[in-house]
Amino acid sequence: MKVDHVTPVLNVASVPESIAWFEGLGWERSFTWNDGGMIEGAGDSNQHGQADFGGIRSGSTTLFMCQDGQGQRGAAPAADPPSDDGAAGMWMSWWLDTPADVDAAHQRAVEQGVVVTLPPTDEPWGVRECRIMHPDGHVFRISSGLDRA
């Protein structure tokens, strides 16, 4: 078997709110869908109601989001400072070109008010990594190899 690519599906409480969250981090909306079918212009809603499925993209990477289905959500962190310990949502690694890109992604997340569970850290396994959490408890590890500086 040869897999060409993988498209994760995130269970979310709101597709439009999740798309807006990702757009704040620099992702682009790809498509949206509801009971009436595809929503023109990847809009948040149409005459058939709010989007309940949708896609976003960054470069050649695509993520799908399904409202109240296809997997489960985690829980937003209650700890202060926030922690991703025990997060039950999807965990995913995003690989960026350089450690400086990790720092820039972290800064953008902070500017957007995104929950950061780990600030940029040089890890012993050779990556610079930070972690952010989606409002539905999904954790994203934003990483780059330390040898790519």
3 lies in some domain: no
Average pLDDT over residues 97-126: 96
Do residues 53 and 100 both lie within one domain? no
Do residues 15 and 60 both lie within one domain? yes
d(CA 65, CA 11): 6
Task: Yes or no: say if 64 and 77 are a contact pair by the CB < 8 Å rule.
Answer: no
d(CA 34, CA 26): 24
**What does the pLDDT read at residue 70?**
82
85 lies in some domain: no
**What does the pLDDT read at residue 62?**
96
**What does the pLDDT read at residue 72?**
79
More confident residue, 74 or 9: 9
Average pLDDT over residues 79-104: 83
**What does the pLDDT read at residue 144?**
97
132 lies in some domain: yes
**What does the pLDDT read at residue 90?**
85
In a 10 Å sphere around its CB, with 0-12 CB exposed, 13-18 middle and 19+ buried, how is residue 47 labelled?
exposed
Q: What is the mean pLDDT of the chain?
A: 92
Q: Is the pLDDT of residue 82 over 70?
A: no
Structure tokens at 58: 């960054």
48 lies in some domain: yes
In a 10 Å sphere around its CB, with 0-12 CB exposed, 13-18 middle and 19+ buried, how is residue 104 labelled?
middle
**What does the pLDDT read at residue 53?**
98
- CATH number for the domain spanning 106: value is 3.10.180.10
Average pLDDT over residues 8-29: 97
Q: What is the DSSP secondary-structure string of 73-121?
A: ------SSS---TT--S-EEEEE-SSHHHHHHHHHHHHHTTPEEEEEEE
**What does the pLDDT read at residue 148?**
82
Range of the domain at 129: 91-148
23 lies in some domain: yes
Query: In this predicted model, what pLDDT tens digit does every residue of 114-146 receive, in sequence order?
Result: 999 999 999 999 999 999 999 999 999 999 999
**What does the pLDDT read at residue 73?**
77
Question: Based on the structure, what is the number of domains in the chain?
Answer: 2
Q: How many residues does the chain have?
A: 149
d(CA 76, CA 41): 30
Q: What angle (nearest 5°) sits at the alpha carbon of residue 69, between those of residues 7 and 132?
A: 60
